[in-house]
Structure 1
Amino acid sequence: MQVDKAEFGSITIDGKTYDHDVIIQLSGKIEKRRKKLSKEKYGTSHIISKAEAKYVFEDGCDVLIVGAGHNGNVSLSQEASDYFDKKGCRVILQPTPEAIRFFNQSHEKKIGLMHVTC
């Protein structure tokens, strides 16, 4: 699994381009991020809710790598942060280009949540 690049509004993974936020599961499967889980609670998808955290997390995950957008506008709610702490899952939150580099270099059991705009 290799994240090739991200441009504002898209991300390319293993040669396939997606024009929406994605979750890269432990298995390497790519799925569309369910932003409405956070938007319903906060009115924005820029704050990750506990409901979205529960959806994203998989048993066995050591680290969640969050691409917080090109300008780093995405953050975790306190409830989501507490949830990941309770699960023993470290969270790396960086602007998407830096998160991609970290994702590609990490050999940990990881999940990626990549925001492709702002």
Structure 2
Amino acid sequence: MEIERTTFGTITIDGKTYEHDVIIRLSGEIAKRKKKLSKKYYGTSHVLSKDEAKFVYEDGCEQLILGSGQMGNVHLSPEAETYFAKKGCTVLLQPTPKAIHTFNNSHAKKIGLFHITC
């Protein structure tokens, strides 16, 4: 699997372009991000809630690569940070253009969550 590129509002993975935030599971399955899990607490999808962290995490995940948007506006809530730490999952938070490079080059058991706007 290769993330080929991102532009404001899109991400292209293995030749398919998505126009919504995506999660790449340990299996390689691509799913739509469930922003409402964070929006209900913070009124925005720019803060990742503990509920969304629970949805994103899978047993065996060593690394979450979080593409924080084209300009890096997404961040973890303190509760989400604690949740991932307790699971032993390292979180790499980077602007999406950099995060796709990190994802493509990481050999860890990883999940990718990519915010494609702001």
Deviations 1:5-41 (A, max 9, x none): 0000000001000000000000000000000000001
How many residue pairs get aligned? The number is 118
Report the equivalent of 1:117.
117
Report the equivalent of 2:93.
93
In structure 1, stretches of 5+ residues that fail to align are none
State the secondary structure of the residue aligned to 2:58: coil
Structural RMSD (CA): 0.3
Q: Which amino acid aligns with 2:2?
A: Q
Offset, 1:95: 0.2
Report the equivalent of 1:73.
73
Q: Which amino acid aligns with 1:68?
A: S
TM-score normalized with structure 2 length = 0.99
Moved over 3 A (4+): none
Q: Which amino acid aligns with 1:63?
A: Q
TM-score normalized with structure 1 length = 0.99
Percent identity between matched residues is 67
Hey, what's the Cα distance between the residues in 2 that align with 1:107 and 1:31? 21
Offset, 1:112: 0.2
Hey, what's the Cα distance between the residues in 2 that align with 1:64 and 1:34? 16
Q: Which amino acid aligns with 2:14?
A: D
Hey, what's the Cα distance between the residues in 2 that align with 1:107 and 1:90? 13
